[in-house]
Amino acid sequence: MRNLIYLSILLFYSCSSKHESHEQQATASDSAVHYPQEKHLANVRQLTFGGDNAEAYWSFDDSKLVMQITNDKLGAECDQIFVYEVAKADSSYKPILVSTGKGRTTCSYFLPGDSTFLYASTHLAADACPPKPEPRADHKYVWPIYDSFDIFVADLKGNIKKQLTNSPGYDAEATVSPKGDKIVFTSLRSGDPELYTMKTDGSDIKQITSGLGYDGGAFFSPDGTKLIFRASRPTTEEEIKEYKELLKEGLVMPTKMELFICNADGSDLKQLTNLGKANWAPFFHPSGNKVIFSSNHASEKGYHFNLFMINLDGTGLEQITHDGVFDAFPVFSNNGKHLVFSSNRNNGGTRSTNTFVADWVE
């Protein structure tokens, strides 16, 4: 479901501000754009060229990325999972399809050994892509949490090796601990989207969060002891009513979210940000002492998303990227030397979102 917020926000916001993006271009080649203010990024390279490419996650040896792509030229009418060999990056390289090609997929992640990965898919319910929500008369900005999503393990040839979840309702957004011993995921099995952990074989499922509101997009700290995630927390009577009514329709509103942090067992839960608007796609800095994330809090109308970094005590907020449209899904390589992210930069004024990789500079 991390991809669904990306798809909806991107399609709306990229049209509104694509011309500003071109005005801000500083240095460009046929494969990358790098703004001079982006002091933490060097040797920025563009990995994908066209379509919607997002949520790229590193293999444990940092040689590959597994990501979700919507691109008719690759036979992906809606999100499917592809593996990308980073060393082969150029405009002619085509990533390899490793999901079934059926239904809609999301949230892939390598498992230890790099020969298998997990992802969520709706393919058991139908071969076709599930329908997107119709425009609402009340103009509420929403995205769906499909109850047909379950989590699977597959090999790099696309063969499904195991189904990890089979409870009624939404199960998705799974990521793996750097230690390779646990998975964290979001599930609607309690009636509210909460975080759960399980072992990599699907056993020992434990509920981690319990507060009213959507909890998702969780990642482990480098030492595996903490979790960072995004959450909505309706508090007023009106907000709670609206949240529950939408949830009955299988919908949530992603426009008001903050970052929360807790121990891997759910203890010591704390709110990390209080910036307003949408703060999401968090990932731990290699030191474990900071978090990088995407936010539109600095955008007057909420159209523009950039990457920011913040200390675990909520201090030291720093802007990392300076694109005029959309930057999100930042993920550090396991060796801490590289950052992969998705961006609307260098897309020629189209709606395409591509994946970029950069050397990280402290």
The b/e string for 48-66 (b: 16+ C-beta within 10 A; e otherwise) is: bbbbbbbbbbbbeebebbb
- What is the tally of helices (H) and strands (E) in the chain? 2, 28
For residue 205, what are its two tokens? Answer: 């499922």
Integer Cα distance of 2 and 18 in angstroms: 23
Cβ(323)–Cβ(344) below 8 Å: yes
User: Which residues are registered as beta bridge partners of 46?
Assistant: 356
- pLDDT tens string, the chain, 362 residues long: the values are 444 444 444 433 332 333 333 333 333 343 348 999 999 999 999 999 999 999 999 999 999 999 999 999 999 999 999 999 999 988 899 999 999 999 999 999 999 999 999 999 999 999 999 998 888 888 888 889 999 999 999 999 999 999 999 999 999 999 999 999 999 999 999 999 999 999 999 999 999 999 999 999 999 999 999 999 999 999 999 999 999 999 999 999 999 999 999 999 999 999 999 999 999 999 999 999 999 999 999 998 888 999 999 999 999 999 999 998 999 999 999 999 999 999 999 998 899 999 999 999 99
Cβ(361)–Cβ(37) below 8 Å: no
Which domains does the chain carry?
2-360 (2.120.10.30)
Checking DSSP bridges between strand 270-271 and strand 338-343, what pairing results, if any? unpaired
Cβ(119)–Cβ(109) below 8 Å: yes
Distance of CA 13 to the CA centre of its chain: 17
pTM: 0.92
Integer Cα distance of 69 and 64 in angstroms: 15
